Amino acid sequence: MTTPDLIRKYYDCFNRADYLGMLDLLAEDVLHEPSQGLPRKGKVMFREFLAHMEDCYKEAVIDPVIMASADGKRAAAEFMLSGRYLKTDEGLPAARGQAYNLRVGAFFEVHEGKITRVSNHYNLQHWLDQISG
């Protein structure tokens, strides 16, 4: 599987809420760097993150554009994230089922057919403006 195919499969699993499928694409020591907060290391922490996200949000990746380096070791994706804020997340405004759309950039490292790093970046203030309006 090529690196773009791997990343596409990752987002296909995300859109189906197939979190076991997502985890299967990750290296055991995957590094997850969220847009806000501390990095997480390993599949166990990534699994906990996914469970938390599933509890608070319902999201879908829309029209991802995926690019990869010639050697397949790095990749990037840009997409729109369409979501609904379901349950109040700690330290954030109250959830009332608010809808939102965000432009997201994601960066990946790949080794031996597994994702070893996922870094997500989006404009938190833009999200806050949408859910507070």
Q: What pLDDT band is residue 6 in, cutting at 50, 70 and 90? A: very high
Tens digits of per-residue pLDDT, 39-80? 999 999 999 999 999 999 999 999 999 999 999 999 999 999
- What domains are defined for the chain? 3-132 (3.10.450.50)
Look at residue 69 in the predicted model and tell me its pLDDT: 98
Give DSSP secondary structure letters for 90-119: TTSPPPSSEEEEEEEEEEEEEETTEEEEEE
Q: Round to whole Å and give the CA distance between 51 and 16.
A: 14
Greatest C-alpha distance within the chain: 45
CA dihedral 67, 23, 33, 66 (to 10 degrees): 10
pLDDT given for residue 106 in this prediction:
98
Q: Is residue 133's pLDDT more than 80?
A: no
pLDDT tens profile 74-110: 999 999 999 999 999 999 999 999 999 999 999 999 9
Residue-level pLDDT at 54? 95
42-76 burial code (b ≥16 CB/10 A, e <16): ebeebbeebeeeeebbebebeebebebeeeeeebe
Whole-structure pTM value:
0.94
Alpha carbon 67 to chain centroid, angstroms: 16
- Rounded Cα distance between 75 and 6, Å, is 10
Quick check: 37 pLDDT over 90? no
